[in-house]
Structure 1
Amino acid sequence: MSTHTVPAPAYDDAEKGTLEVDERQTTLVSTNYKDEKKGDLTVITTAVVPVQKAPSKPKKKVSVWIIWTLWFNTYRKLFTFVFTFNMIGIGLAASGHWPYAARYTGAMALGNLNFAILMRNELFGRILYLIVNTLFAKWTPLWWRLGCTSVLQHLGGIHSGCALSGVCWLALKVVNNFRHHAVNHDSILIMGTVTNIAVIVSAISAFPWVRNTHHNVFERHHRFVGWLGLILTWVFTILGDSYNLETQTWNLSGKHILRQQDFWFAMGMTTFIIIPWLCVREVPVDIELPSPKVAIVRFERGMQQGLLGRISRSSIMEYHAFGVISEGTHSKYHYMICGVQGDFTRSLVNDPPKTLWTRQLKFAGVSNTSTLYKRGVRICTGTGIGAALSTCLQSPYWYLIWIGSDQEKTFGPTINGLITRHIGPERLLLWDSKKRGGRPDTMKILKEAYYSWNAEVVFITSNYIGNTEIMRGCKEEGIPAFGTLWDF
C-alpha cells in the first residue's frame, strides 16, 4: 500500500457503503504490528490474486438498542430537557400557577431566544472549547473527557430547544395580549402578531428537511427573516414596556425602559448576532483545481486544528462551511477542500474567484477537542479529509485512516504534500477504493488501528451512510466515537 497516496473525490458507491469487487482481481492485505505499545502499524501488500467476484455478504443486523442510543444522542437529550422544562413552565404560567412567568412572559420568550443565539455564537463557542481543552486535557477520567466532547459537539440541542421554546413563550405572550385586548393598544397587538410570524418563519426554515435539502431557502429565511424578527422584537419590546395597562397611557421615559429585563435580553440577542458579522472580511484566495471534482482554496495565515470556516462570494449571502486544513498557527497558509456538490462549489471550479468573503473568527468543530485525548484515530472518507487532516498534521498522537477514490489524482499535490511531510507510515492508512476494487471492511481496519494505536477515541467524518455504519460498528464494539452531524 502506498503511504503517500492523497485525497479523495466526491463520494462514489464504494464510499456509500457498498463493496464493489473487481471480477478479475482483489488485493490481499496483511497487517503486521511492530510494537503495540508504541502503536507502530505497518501495512504490507502481499499479493494480487485473480478471483471470481465475491458474493455479497448479508448485512449484519443491528440491535434496536444500538439504533435507539445513537438516535437519542446528546443533541436530542439536551433538546428534550430544555424544551420539556419550558413546556412545563408555559403550562404553569398559562394556568396561573406561576405568576412571575405570567407577568413577564416577554422576558421568558426573549431569554430563551437570547440563549439560543448565544449557543451559535462563534466567539462563545471558541471560549467554551478553550476552557474545556485547557482545564481537562488528558489528566481527567476518560468518561469525563468524552462527556465534554459530546456536550460541546451537541450544543445545537440547546440552541434548538431554546429557540422553539422562545417561539412558544412569544405565542403565549401574544395570546395573553389578545385576551386583554380591551386594555391593550392596537399597535402592541399588531406588532406582537407580526413579530411572532417572523420568528416562526425563521424557526421553521431551520428544520432539518428544509436546511438539508434547500440550503439557500434555509439561509435566506433563517437569516434575513430572523433579522427582520429582531427589528420587530425591538419595536414590540419597547412598545410593550412603554404602555401602562392600568392607566392605558404611554411612559416614554428611557429610565423606565432600561429597568425592564426584556430590554436587556433584546440587547444581548443583538450583540450576539452582530459580533460574528464584525469579523467578516474579503480576503485574497488562490484556488487549485486538481480535478473537476474538487477545489482547493488557499488562504493566508495558519490556524490551530479543529476549526471550520464559512466562505461566500458576497458579504451577506450564501455562506458555506468547510473544514480548515493547516500545519499550525505558525504556517503561512491554511486550506479548505470544497467538493463539487452544488451551485456554489461548482462555481469555484468553473469560475475561480480571486477573493472570497469569510468570517475571520472561525468556529470550533468536534476535532478541536482532540487535545483532550492522549491518542486517537481520525477516520474519514472523500472530502471529509478537509475536516480531519489538521488534527493529524498538528499532533503526532493521532492516526489517520482515509478512504477515498483515486485520491492522489483528485486532490492534487498540495494535500498530498501535507500528508507525506507530516504523517509517517506508522500512523497512516490510505485506501484507494478505485484501485482496490471497492471499499474495505471499514470496521476491521478501524478496530485494528484503534487497538494497535492504543487510542482513546475515534472521530469520524463521512457521508450519511458511511457515518451511520461506522457509528453503529463502534457502538457495538464499545469504541468511543463521534461522527458527523447533520443539525437535526
Structure 2
Amino acid sequence: MAVIGIQATKDSNLLPLSKDVNVSQTKPAQKPKKKVSNWILFTLWFNTYRKFFTLVFTLNMVGLTLAASGHFPYAIKYSGAMVVGNLNFAILMRNELFGRLLYLFVNTCFAKWPPLWFRLGCTSVLQQHLGGIHSGCALSGVIWLLFKVVMMFRNLNVNHDAVLVMGVVTNVAVIISILSAFPWVRNTHHNVFEKHHRFAGWIGLVATWTFVILGDTYNPATRTWDLSGADLVRHQDVWFTVGMTVFIALPWAFVREVEIDIELPSPKVAIIRFKRGMQQGLLGRISRTSIMEYHAFGIISEGTYASYHYMVAGVQGDFTRSLVNDPPKTLWTRELKFAGVSNTSTLYTRGIRICTGTGIGAALSTCLQSPHWFLIWIGSDQEKTFGPTISGLIHKHMGPERLILWDSKLRGGRPDTMKILKEAYQTWNAEVVFITSNYIGNTEIMQGCKEAGIPAFGTLWDFVCIFPSNLILTKALIGTHH
C-alpha cells in the first residue's frame, strides 16, 4: 500500500473552460434569493420515490382494512403470505444483482431511440422506484405482521404458545430493524442504523423462518402438529421466505478483502485506488471489517479495460477520517457494485454532469467514458485538494470544449451556477442534467432546472421537511425530477 502526499503546483491548469460558454473570471455578484413557487416545491418534494411509496402503502392499507372488516378472506387465510410477500419484495428492491440486471435491461433496450419523455421516465423509475417500493413494502409488511399476530392472540385458545411467542419475537426484531432505518436515525446515528438494521434484520429473518415453520406445521383446528413437511412446501409464505433469504445472502457472497493504495493530496480527501476497471455510473461499498459499517462511494474509472478504479472519500465522519489519519493496506468491499443515476447516461444522446466538491467521485466516470457528456465541476482549490490523479484523468480524456472547472478560491467565490448550466445546456444541445451536490447546491440547481424546464436528476433528500416554504432535509439518496 502506498500513501502518497501530493503538493499542487503553483501554475495549476485545472481550469479549462469551454470556448462556447462565457464564464466571468471575477467574483459573481450576490443576487437576492428568488422565491420559488409552492408548486415547484411540491413537485420536487412529491417525487417518484414518494409516489411509489404512497401507491404501495395505500394499496396495502386498503387490503388490510378490507381484511380487518372481513371483506378480504384471502388475506385473512394467507396473512403470512401478505407479511413475507411484502418483506420479500422490499428486500428484492435493495438487492444489487436485481438492480444491475434491471439497469442492464433498460440501458440495452431503450438507449437513445425512444422519445425523450420515455427515457426520462426510465431514469426516474430506475433511480427512485427501488427505494420507494422498498420502504412501502417494508412498512406494509410490518403492519401486516402486527395484524397477523393480533388476530392470533384474539384466538388465543386454539393457537399454540410456541407460535404466539415466535410471532411476538418476530414482530420485535422486524420493528427494530424498520425503526433503525428511519431517516432521522440513519442520518444522525449512522452506526446505530448500521448495527440495528442489519443485525436485527438477520435476527428477524431467523425468527421469521421459525414463525413460518411453526405456524404452517401447527393445525389450530385439530391442535396437532404435521411434521412430515409434505404440507409445509405447499405454503406460499415458505417460498417467499426462501426468496427473502436468498436476496439477503446473495450480496454477501461477493464480499472480498482487497489490496488498495491511498493517495492523500490534502487532509480533506483520500483517493482510494483499487485494481481493475469499471463501467461508468457505479458505486461501491467499502469497510474496514467484513460485516460492519459499509460506506458507499462513487467509482471513477476510465473503463472496463483500465487497470484501476478510484473512490474519492471526503473527510466527514469517523470512517473517512480514519482513511486519512490511519490509511489501511486493505479494505473489505462487495465486488458486485450497484448502479446509480449516471448508469442511465447511455439512454441519452448528450448530457450535462454537474457536481460540487467530492461529488466528482460519482460524476467523473460518465464524462471520462463518453464524449457526449459535458462536465461542470465547482469546488475550492481542486488540484491541491484532490491531487494530480483526478486532474490527470480529466485532462487525459476531456478537452476544454466539454469542460468547466470552477475554482471558487481562485475566482473569489461561487459562480452563478444556473447561468453557467443554462448556457452549457443550450450550447451542448443536451437532453438531460445529472446533479451531485450538497443539500444547498442540489436544492438550488433542482429548483432552477425545474423553473427553466430543464430535465434534471439530482440528489434525493428523504428526511422530514418543513413544507412548502422551507425544506429541511438531511439524508442524501439518489433522486430526480423531470
Q: Say whether the fold is shared (TM-score over 0.5).
A: yes
Q: How does 1:255-404 map to 2 (within 5 A)?
A: 255-404=230-379
Q: Return the alpha-carbon distance in structure 2 between the equivalents of residues 117 and 81 of structure 1.
A: 18
Counterpart of 1:5, as a letter, is L
Q: 1:184 is matched with which residue?
A: 159
Which residue matches 2:67? Answer: 93
Could you tell me which of 185, 190, 197 is aligned with 2:172? 197
CA distance in 1 between counterparts of 2:319 and 2:221 reads 55
Q: Deviations over 1:449-486 (max 9, x none)?
A: 00100000000000011101100000000000000134
The answer as to whether partners of 1:456 and 1:480 remain within 8 angstroms in 2 is: yes
How far off is 1:253 after superposition? 1.3
The residue number in structure 1 matching 2:183 is 208
Identical aligned residues as a percent:
76
1:94 maps to a residue whose letter is A
Tell me, in whole angstroms, the C-alpha distance in 2 between the residues paired with 1:392 and 1:283: 27
Distance 1:121 1:474 in 2: 32
Q: Are the counterparts in 2 of residues 156 and 487 from structure 1 also a CA contact under 8 Å? A: no
RMSD: 1.6
Shift in Å, 1:249: 0.5
Q: Judge conservation of contact 1:282–1:355 (CA < 8 Å) in 2.
A: yes
Other-structure match for 2:196 = 221
Question: Which residue does the alignment assign to 1:5?
Answer: 14
Asked if 1:114 is matched to 2:114, the reply is no
State whether residues 80 and 148 of structure 2, in contact with CA within 8 Å, keep that contact through their aligned partners in structure 1.
yes
Q: Distance in 1 between matches of 2:290 and 2:442?
A: 33
Q: 1:191-220 deviations in whole A, cap 9, x for unaligned? A: 101101111110111111111111111111
Structure 1 residue 58 corresponds to structure 2 residue 67: no
Task: Work out the CA distance in 2 between the residues paired with 1:78 and 1:4.
Answer: 46
Stretches of structure 1 that go unaligned for 5 or more consecutive residues are 7-28, 34-40
Instruction: Give CA-to-partner distance per residue, 1:233-280, whole Å, 9 cap, x none.
Output: 000000000100110011111111111110000000000000000000
Q: Which of 440, 449, 472 is 1:474 aligned to?
A: 449
CA distance in 2, matches of 1:208, 1:443: 30
Contact 1:294 1:411 in 2 (8 A): yes
> Is the Cα contact below 8 Å between 1:3 and 1:430 reproduced in 2?
no
What is the alpha-carbon distance in structure 1 between the residues aligned to residue 92 and residue 414 of structure 2?
Answer: 41
Distance in 1 separating the partners of 2:213 and 2:353? 51
5+ long unaligned stretches in structure 2? 1-10, 464-482
CA deviation vs aligned residue, 1:157-197 (integer Å, no higher than 9, x gap)? 00000000000110100001001110000111111011011
SS of residue paired to 1:324: strand
SS in 2 for 1:325: strand
Give the structure-2-normalised TM-score.
Answer: 0.92
Are 1:133 and 2:107 counterparts?
yes
| Corresponding residue SS for 2:409 | coil
Q: Which 4+ runs in 1 deviate beyond 6 A?
A: none
- Give SS of 1:268's match: helix
Name the aligned partner's letter for residue 228 of structure 1.
I
Q: CA separation in 2, counterparts of 1:424 and 1:179? A: 71
Match of 1:145 in 2: 119
Measured against aligned partners, the alpha-carbon deviations of 1:84-113 in whole angstroms (never above 9, x if no partner) come to: 000000001111101000111111010000
Matched, 1:76 2:50: yes
Contact 1:328–1:394 at 8 Å: present in 2 too? yes
1:57 offset after TM fit, Å? 2.7
Quote the Cα distance in structure 2 between the aligned partners of 1:170 and 1:296. 45
